[in-house]
Structures are given as structure tokens and as C-alpha cells.
């Protein structure tokens, strides 16, 4: 854990956040940071990731810490490291130093927590060890995700209403994550060029997805950041959550890379680019790429306060349908096609989601942050995966990530084949066999008069992408 | 999870391992692989790491799988992915395919487990979710680490006696991990050269520990491996388990990098090198470096079957004491110095440990694998951290990692100051202020007539290190 002495604004930022929270609720709150978990033996632990709600109000990735928030006051509960650990881990900041850094009003050892749990609201953390402690201190079971109730639910709604609109300190972090992510993607494109291959290791005989992943994540690590999520770096973009990296890169392949950095304080970026291994899109790849790009650009052009995110999603669906009609893959009127979810044959996910301390921001609260109160997930094939359904407001950060995929599980599904038999020209589609998956994703901040693409430093045009690979 | 179709020997290797296990115990065994845990929200999970005991007998990093071993037979329990996950994760291997791959005698869904728990021995996995399932199926609490009892303890002893001596398939994996680790260290040394800086990102204004870490881990990721443990890449080598990477690299600094790769099947390497940022050791740094190197080389020269690992540790202690006497930092007879643990002032850890599927192999079993039956940890300052105390045998893989550190928590401890006041020439020591921490670590296989350094492709001599940095 590193306390950045340059960040004199941290205490102020945190004070501001908890005062805004105090304006929304009138009961005390405890937020736990969580602890590390053993990987293959107790001393070999996964890297620590503090709970995002803790980070928002506590500011620092402290292990085994609890903050108690009440009417704008912050009390910190954390144990000082025992002296014998100094040998192994060096001098750690003391409770009082940390308390000062985050502007706590008081600080206590963890043992003082036990008497404080009555009437307190909390959000369950991810690690079960800490979750047991939460239930023990509060002397009640904890709800999770969409099953929050009582004060915990009121707290979650209050926190979501704050975390949804990023303050300057949050934005500064998010911009850093975005900037490093842009560099990581550029490094990935450069590493795809076969003439740059083998500079790092004589052991590799063929270039694989892992080769490119190494180049990209290496940049993120070099900036002392972590990956905000498990990277997708694949020539099989049609597998939406692909976490395999062993395929070798073949000349006709497209590589889809969905890789994002996370700052030390936990703020995330989330970017996808798709590029041709040989540095040149085939005509069919370029046709589809330009449809996805048109959807991407149209959506971003429309983002401004008060626009419904659902409409952005539907716009992406329309642009994709129009493009596929123009290519002769779809038949019919665009509005009819979208109405019957035809877009979801090739674009079976939502156009994006909230982004902040979590890559799917506040998804631990189920749909509470993503969905405006009173709205629920659609059960339509073309809408059910949409993670965000709210009117956009200034200060929100969202991803825009339309895509086109030929997913065998969808396209070979006999039911879909029947349902869409009059709409899809399967022979025409067969000519686009070299397009397995394309996605273009950027991080877009809603501003007062429109939007700003935080990851705009990374090109999207096909020619610019080709240039970076070459 | 990737099933490597080239590895036709996997089923044979696993069969051999379980038949050897059957020769040691006469009760049934269940081994769980474990599951992934949420990082900041349930769908954003830490990478999966299967339990090492499962991997040893089950061979593949399968999530949520159980193997039932009885008299040399293997039954696999795993659920096929539900069809709807194909959309997101692609086609996954079916239970029957996996069963064939690992040579299972039968395969069942997990629901069949519940009736099979009676009289079964197991080893607790690290993730608590799975541990709850283990206790539920076996209908009893599980012991951990040094607190195993009954059949679980008998099982642990049997497994330790197998895993301690690496078979050819294990060795092939370990050699791969070692080879990639060697390349990672070379990349780290190259990246230290300021003229190679900034090729990856225009965002970095100063070279930090993270810069080098990124270069090293990038190589590991590029080979589709993971880090076997959280890397130590630090200019503060005196903090033994340093996991901070933010310090900038200064011309007079030594960088200590303890970084090791782990293969997809879970086999680890563990290597440390220490190099000068400017590519040239200062005279004082070189003096101490050569003492640590002499200890390293002497230990490796002595490794062969039947040698006590404790004696290797004591040899390292002696060589270090002798070197410090020669430099005028210590006064006295080497044997007296070691006897009174003077070496531990500067070398306060063990000379190494077992290496295999875990970087500290089988440390989840407490000292059961590391310590010969009947032996327990010493409480001596100079011996208590020794993780391995057995006679070496052919097939064992150990690390050899002597070091020299100026740890403030030790050297400024008034008790130590008094205890060692006649032994340490503090004024002379003060001249070595630019040596905060040096460690040289290699992975050494005990062979029938001596040993083989699996990581020998990475130089250790000061001049060769300097050449790699320059």
C-alpha cells in the first residue's frame, strides 16, 4: 500500500464524498476493505483488491480496514502491523498516519468494532472471510446483489447516486487509467507486426494471442497499474468472454483485444480494438469493421445529458442493421429488424455499461446502479444483456462498445434459423467467413454539453489501425 | 482451460501417480480443484488456480471438479457447462472428453458426490467456498496446515512423499517454467538500460521498479504462463517480501528481482537476480555480491543425494560469515559466528525450499513436506526460517538463494546491537551503505550423481550480469 504524498486533495475529496452521503442517509455505515485470499497456499496470496465502496470513501487500498461513516464523520478501524512483520514487509504506515491522510476524525484498532454494529448499514464485500466478519459484527445476515433490503438497500441506492457521477479526483484517476490503456493497445498493435516478434524471447517459435497479451499487460504493469479485468486477447472474438490465449496468429485473422488498466486506487478503463494480424483488413473484414465503427461513432455523437442509454443501444442496433442491409446480409426495414431483435444475431450484448471503480461499475449491487428505479431487465433477445438503462447525466462515464460476431451457438441454433429465415441471406453471410468477431469500445464521459471520449487517443479508423500495426 | 492434444502421455503419467499413491494408502481420497473468487464484483473474478494436489493427480486446471481416487482408480466429478454459457465462453470440453484425456475410469456429475464421502480422506483447498463443500460432502470439519489428523494426515504424508520426487512429466513442465523465467530476467536486465527506456510508453517520465516488472512479467504472460507468486522487483531489497513497485531507479541502486513463471498446468520456477541500475556494481556492491555468489556456488557444488539440506543452509551461513570476516565487517572465527547466528544479522532467511507445483512446495501442509518426520523448526534466530530440513534425494527440486540484507529492523534492534557488539565492526559496515539487499537464487534439481541447475541459463557472475544490463 502506497500513500502518495503528492495527493494533498485526498482527504478533502473523501470528506466531500462522505458529506454528500450524509445528505442522503441518516444512519451509520460500516464499509470493509476486505482481505487477500490464498492462491495455492496461505502465504502465496492473490493480489489485494479493496472493495470499491471502501475505496470510494476510504481512498486507499488498505487491507483489513473498516471505515465507520456517520453524519459526515469518518472513523477508521485498522490494526497496526505487529513489529515482527517489519522484517518481511518493511515499515508500514501507522494507523494515525493513515487516519490523517484520509482525513479520519478518529482511529481505533479493529477490536473496537465489535460494540459498534447496531443499526449499521453495510455492503457485503466479495471475499467470504471478510463477509463472515461483517455478519458477525452486525449480528445479522447480509443481502447480496439484487437481494438487498432495509438500510443496506437504502445505503446502496445512496452510494450508487454518488458514485455514478464522477468528481474531479475520480476523473483524474480515470483519465490516468484511460491513458495507460491507450498505450497498452498501441503496444499490442505494434507487437503484432511480425518484424517486432522475437525481440523478447528466443523461446517462442510462433506468435500467439499470449504474445500480444504480454506486450499489452506489460505496459499496464510498467505503469504500476493492474488489469481492471481478465484481458480478452483472441483471434476468436466470437467467444465473447474468451480467456484463452494459446491460439497462434494466422495471416487472415483478426485479433480482438479487450484490455483495460486499473489505477492503484482502483479506477478502471475498458477498451477494445480489433485489428488484422497482417496489418491489412480484407475487403469483407473492412466492410464489417466499418459498420461497427459507424455504430460506435453514431452512438458517441448522440451522447449528451438526458439522452436515454437504451436509445443509444437501439441506435447501435439500427446502424448495424442498416449496414447489414446495405451489405445484403439482412433483408427488410431497419426498424422492423431491430424490433424483432435481428441485430442480436450478430450483436448479442449491450452497447455498454457504467465505468468507474469497477469495470462494470457497481455490478456488485445487481441492477441497482445500472437500472433507473422502476425499470427492470427486458427479456427480449436484443435487450436482455443491456447493463445500463438510465437517462445519461453529466459526470457519468460509460463504455460504448458495439460489435459484430458470428457466434455458432446463435447462428446454428435451429430456433433462430427458423425465426430469422426470411431476414438473413445465409449465402451472402457465408462470404464474410473471415469475420469471427469485431468490437470497438471506448470510455465516454457525459459532459454538460455533450461528451468526451477519455480513450480518444487511440485511433478507431481502419486505416489508422492498419498504420499502427505496420 | 486448454487440453493439449500433443500431450498423449498425460493419462499415463496420472495413472502412474495414482498407482503409486495406491501403494501407500488403503482408503479412498477426494481432491477438489476449487473455484474462482470474485475480485470487486461476482463476474469479475481472480484468475483460476486449481489446487496443487488436484493438479498432481488430475493433471488439468479444471474449475469446480473433484477426483475420487481409490486403489489406483480415478473417477472424475464435474458438471458440463450449461448450453447458455456457450454464447459467452465458447464450446467447452465435455465431461467425457476430459475423462478420456486424464485417463479417468468413470465420470459423473457433481451431484453424484454427495453419497460418496464416507471414510474419505482429503486436503483442504484454499478457497473457502469450496472448503465448505468439502466439509459438507465429507460431513466433518477439515484440518489445515500443521493441524492435519487421521486419514487426512496419512494422505498428506503419502502425497508429500510422491510430489517430493519429480517424475519426467513434472520435470518437463518445471524446465519450461525455468526457461521462461530465465528469459524474463534477461528482459528485466535489458529494460534497465536507460537507452531502452520509453520504447513502450511515452507516459512514463521516470524509470521505476514497475517499469522493470512490466518488462519481466510481460515475457511470462507472452509465453502463456502466469507468475508463480507476487513478484518482488525492488531497489529496497532489504524489505524481504516487498510488493511495492513505485520507487524510481537511481543510478547507485541495486535492483533485486525475485520473479518466477508458472506453467498452465501449475508448475513453478523461482529465480532471483540482483543487478546495478547503471550496469556496473560499485566496489562495495561487488564485494558483497561476490560473497553472496560464493555462498550460492558453494551450496550448489555440494548438492547431491543424502546431503542434509540443513548442512547446505549452514554452509551458506559459513561462506557469508567468512566473506564478512574477510571484508572486516565481522570479527571472530567463522564456526563461532555461525554457532551464534551472526550470519542471520544479514541473512535472516533460509537458504531455500522445495519447488514444484507450489513455489514453496506443499506449504499448505505446514512443515509436513519440508521437514523430515520427527524434526521440527528450530527456534534459533539463524535457523527458524528454514523451510526445508531433510536429506536430499534424487528427483527433489530445491531453490538455493543466499542473500545479504541490511534490514533496519534487525540492525537497529538494541538487543541485537548488544548481543553482537563484539562481532560487528559497525564503522566498517557503514562503508557498505549502498548495499541494501542482494539475493541470488536458482532452481536446483538433485540428480543421482549431483545436481542440475534448471535455471543455469541465467548468468550469476557480476561481470556477466553487467553485460546483460548494458
Residue A94 in any domain: the answer is: yes
Residues B141 and B219 occupy one common structural domain: no
**pLDDT score at B296:** 98
Q: How confident is the model at residue B82 (pLDDT cuts 50, 70, 90)?
A: confident
Residue B282 sits in a domain whose CATH number is: 3.90.230.10
Q: What is the mean pLDDT of residues A443-454?
A: 98
Answer whether residue B22 shows pLDDT above 50.
yes
Q: How confident is the model at residue A318 (pLDDT cuts 50, 70, 90)?
A: very high
Residue B272 exposure: Cα atoms within 13 Å on the Cβ side: 32
Q: How confident is the model at residue A204 (pLDDT cuts 50, 70, 90)?
A: confident
Contacts of A266 in chain B (CB under 8 A): 40
**pLDDT score at B92:** 87
The Cα A21–Cα A57 span in angstroms is 9
Task: Assess B317–A contact: CB distance below 8 Å, yes or no.
Answer: no
Answer whether residue B69 shows pLDDT above 90.
yes
Residue B326 Cα, gap to closest chain A Cα (Å): 27
Q: Which chain B residue is nearest to residue A190, measuring alpha carbons? A: B200
Strand partners, A232: A258
Answer whether residue B4 shows pLDDT above 60.
no
**pLDDT score at B308:** 98
Q: CB-based burial of residue A349 (10 Å sphere; 0-12 exposed, 13-18 middle, 19+ buried)? A: buried
- Of residues B40, B88, B222, nearest to A126 (C-beta): B40
Residues A209 and A153 occupy one common structural domain: no
**pLDDT score at B7:** 47
Beta-carbon separation of A47 and B230 below 8 A = yes
**pLDDT score at A398:** 98
Answer whether residue B5 shows pLDDT above 70.
no
Q: How confident is the model at residue B3 (pLDDT cuts 50, 70, 90)?
A: very low
Q: What is the mean pLDDT of residues A180-201?
A: 85
Residue A464 Cα, gap to closest chain B Cα (Å): 18
Contacts of B198 in chain A (CB under 8 A): none
Residue B210 Cα, gap to closest chain A Cα (Å): 5
Question: What ipTM does this complex have?
Answer: 0.96
Residue B1 in any domain: the answer is: no
Beta-carbon separation of A220 and B214 below 8 A = yes
Range of the domain at B424: 168-469
List all residues of chain A from 155 to 214 with a beta carbon under 8 Å from chain B.
179-180, 183, 187, 200-204, 208, 210-211, 213-214
Residue A323 Cα, gap to closest chain B Cα (Å): 23
Answer whether residue B6 shows pLDDT above 60.
no
Residue B49 Cα, gap to closest chain A Cα (Å): 7
Residues B425 and B293 occupy one common structural domain: yes
Beta-carbon separation of B83 and A409 below 8 A = yes
Answer whether residue A109 shows pLDDT above 80.
yes
Q: How confident is the model at residue A197 (pLDDT cuts 50, 70, 90)?
A: low
Q: CB-based burial of residue B203 (10 Å sphere; 0-12 exposed, 13-18 middle, 19+ buried)? A: middle
Q: How confident is the model at residue B197 (pLDDT cuts 50, 70, 90)?
A: low
pLDDT tens, position by position, A144-173: 988 999 999 999 999 999 999 999 999 999
Which of A103-117, A426-440, B200-214 has the least mean pLDDT? Answer: B200-214
Answer whether residue A255 shows pLDDT above 80.
yes
CA angle in degrees (0–180, nearest 5) for B22-B23-B28? 30
**pLDDT score at A325:** 98
Residue B5 in any domain: the answer is: no
pLDDT tens, position by position, B181-196: 999 999 999 999 877 7
Residues B79 and B210 occupy one common structural domain: no
Q: Which three cell numbers stand for residue B452?
A: 542440475
Residue A315 Cα, gap to closest chain B Cα (Å): 23
CA angle in degrees (0–180, nearest 5) for B424-B430-B431? 115
Residues of chain A above pLDDT 90, percent: 90
Residues B295 and B182 occupy one common structural domain: yes
Q: Give how many domains chain A has, as a whole number.
A: 2
Task: Assess A229–B contact: CB distance below 8 Å, yes or no.
Answer: yes
Answer whether residue B67 shows pLDDT above 80.
yes
Residues B217 and B365 occupy one common structural domain: yes
pLDDT tens, position by position, B219-272: 999 999 999 999 999 999 999 988 899 999 999 999 999 999 999 999 999 999
**pLDDT score at A5:** 45
Contacts of B214 in chain A (CB under 8 A): 218-223
Answer whether residue B9 shows pLDDT above 60.
yes
Residue A200 Cα, gap to closest chain B Cα (Å): 7
Residues of chain A above pLDDT 70, percent: 97
Looking at A139, A163, A187, which one is the last position of a domain? Answer: A163
Residue B2 in any domain: the answer is: no
Residue A84 sits in a domain whose CATH number is: 3.40.350.10
Contacts of B364 in chain A (CB under 8 A): 38, 40-42
Residues A343 and A229 occupy one common structural domain: yes
Residue B3 in any domain: the answer is: no
Residue A20 in any domain: the answer is: yes
Looking at B163, B198, B219, which one is the last position of a domain? Answer: B163
Q: What is the dihedral of CA A285, A290, A292, A293, to 10 degrees?
A: 140
Q: Which three cell numbers stand for residue B43?
A: 463476474
Residues B128 and B172 occupy one common structural domain: no
Beta-carbon separation of A89 and B242 below 8 A = yes
Residues B22 and B98 occupy one common structural domain: yes
Looking at B101, B135, B163, which one is the last position of a domain? Answer: B163
pLDDT tens, position by position, B298-343: 999 999 999 999 999 999 999 999 999 999 999 999 999 999 999 9
Answer whether residue B165 shows pLDDT above 70.
yes
**pLDDT score at A90:** 84
Q: Which residue has the cell 483485444?
A: A257
**pLDDT score at B38:** 95
**pLDDT score at B8:** 59
Which of A124-128, A196-200, A212-216 has the least mean pLDDT? Answer: A196-200
pLDDT tens, position by position, A367-387: 999 999 999 999 998 889 999
Beta-carbon separation of A90 and B202 below 8 A = no
Residues A155 and A265 occupy one common structural domain: no
Answer whether residue B198 shows pLDDT above 70.
no
Residue B435 in any domain: the answer is: yes
Beta-carbon separation of B360 and A208 below 8 A = no
The Cα A450–Cα A396 span in angstroms is 11
Beta-carbon separation of B360 and A242 below 8 A = no
Supply φ then ψ for residue A91, to 5 degrees. Answer: -70, 125
H helices of B231-308, in order, are 283-302
The Cα B70–Cα B30 span in angstroms is 9
Q: What is the mean pLDDT of residues A28-44?
A: 97
CA end-to-end span of chain A: 40
Residues B347 and B445 occupy one common structural domain: yes
**pLDDT score at A193:** 85
For residue A326, what are the contacts with CB-CB under 8 A and spacing of at least 6?
none
Task: Assess A401–B contact: CB distance below 8 Å, yes or no.
Answer: no
List all residues of chain B from 240 to 259 with a beta carbon under 8 Å from chain A.
240-246
Task: Assess B146–A contact: CB distance below 8 Å, yes or no.
Answer: no
Q: Which chain A residue is nearest to residue B179, measuring alpha carbons? A: A203
- Of residues B44, B214, B246, nearest to A221 (C-beta): B214
For residue A43, what are the contacts with CB-CB under 8 A and spacing of at least 6?
B360, B363
Supply φ then ψ for residue B232, to 5 degrees. Answer: -110, 115
Residue B4 in any domain: the answer is: no
Residues B82 and B180 occupy one common structural domain: no
Amino acid at each position: 500500500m502506497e500513500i502518495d504524498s503528492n495527493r494533498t486533495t485526498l482527504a478533502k475529496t473523501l470528506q466531500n464524498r462522505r458529506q454528500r452521503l450524509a445528505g442522503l442517509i441518516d444512519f451509520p455505515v460500516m464499509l470493509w476493505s476486505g482481505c487477500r485470499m490464498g492462491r495455492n497456499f496461505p502465504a502465496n496470496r492473490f493480489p489485494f483488491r479493496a472493495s470499491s465502496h471502501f475505496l470510494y470513501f476510504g481512498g486507499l487500498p488498505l487491507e483489513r480496514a473498516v471505515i465507520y461513516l456517520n453524519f459526515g464523520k469518518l472513523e477508521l478501524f485498522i490494526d497496526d502491523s505487529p513489529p515482527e512483520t517489519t522484517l518481511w514487509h518493511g515499515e508500514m504506515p501507522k494507523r494515525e498516519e493513515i487516519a490523517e491522510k484520509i482525513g479520519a476524525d478518529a482511529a481505533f484498532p479493529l477490536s473496537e468494532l465489535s460494540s459498534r454494529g447496531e443499526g449499521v448499514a453495510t455492503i457485503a464485500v466479495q471475499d467470504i472471510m471478510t463477509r463472515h466478519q461483517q455478519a458477525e459484527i452486525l449480528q445479522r445476515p447480509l443481502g447480496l446483489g439484487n437481494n438487498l433490503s432495509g438500510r443496506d438497500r437504502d445505503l446502496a441506492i445512496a452510494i450508487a447516486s454518488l458514485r455514478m457521477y464522477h468528481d474531479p479526483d475520480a476523473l483524474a484517476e480515470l483519465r490516468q487509467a484511460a491513458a495507460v490503456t491507450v498505450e497498452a493497445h498501441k503496444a499490442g498493435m505494434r507487437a503484432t507486426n511480425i518484424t517486432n516478434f522475437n525481440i523478447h524471447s528466443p523461446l517462442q517459435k510462433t506468435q500467439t494471442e499470449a504474445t500480444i497479451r504480454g506486450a499489452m499487460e506489460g505496459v499496464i504493469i510498467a505503469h504500476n497499474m493492474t488489469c481492471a479485468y481478465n484481458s480478452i486477447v483472441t483471434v476468436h472474438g466470437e467467444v465473447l468472454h474468451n480467456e484463452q490465449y494459446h491460439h497462434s496468429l494466422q495471416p487472415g485473422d483478426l485479433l480482438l483485444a479487450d484490455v483495460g488498466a486499473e489505477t492503484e486506487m482502483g479506477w478502471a478503463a475498458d477498451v477494445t480494438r480489433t485489428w488484422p494480424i497482417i496489418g491489412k483488413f480484407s475487403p469483407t473484414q473492412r466492410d464489417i469493421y466499418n459498420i461497427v465503427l459507424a455504430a460506435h461513432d453514431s452512438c458517441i455523437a448522440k451522447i449528451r445529458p438526458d439522452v436515454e442509454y437504451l436509445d443509444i443501444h437501439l441506435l447501435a442496433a439500427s446502424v448495424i442493421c442498416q449496414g447489414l442491409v446495405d451489405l445484403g446480409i439482412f433483408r427488410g426495414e431497419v426498424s422492423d429488424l431491430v424490433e424483432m431483435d435481428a441485430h442480436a444475431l450478430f450483436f448479442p450484448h449491450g452497447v455498454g455499461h457504467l465505468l468507474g471503480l469497477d469495470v462494470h461499475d457497481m455490478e456488485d449491487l445487481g441492477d441497482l446502479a445500472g437500472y433507473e428505479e422502476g425499470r427492470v431487465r427486458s427479456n427480449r433477445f436484443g435487450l436482455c444483456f443491456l447493463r445500463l438503462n438510465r437517462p445519461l447525466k453529466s459526470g457519468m462515464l460509460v463504455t460504448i462498445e458495439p460489435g459484430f460476431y458470428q457466434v455458432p451457438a446463435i447462428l446454428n441454433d435451429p430456433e433462430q434459423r427458423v425465426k430469422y429465415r426470411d431476414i438473413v441471406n445465409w449465402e451472402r453471410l457465408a462470404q464474410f467467413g473471415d469475420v469471427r468477431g469485431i468490437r470497438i469500445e471506448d470510455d465516454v464521459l457525459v459532459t454538460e454539453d455533450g461528451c468526451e471520449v477519455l480513450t480518444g487517443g487511440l485511433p478507431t479508423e481502419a486505416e489508422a489501425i492498419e498504420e499502427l500495426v505496420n
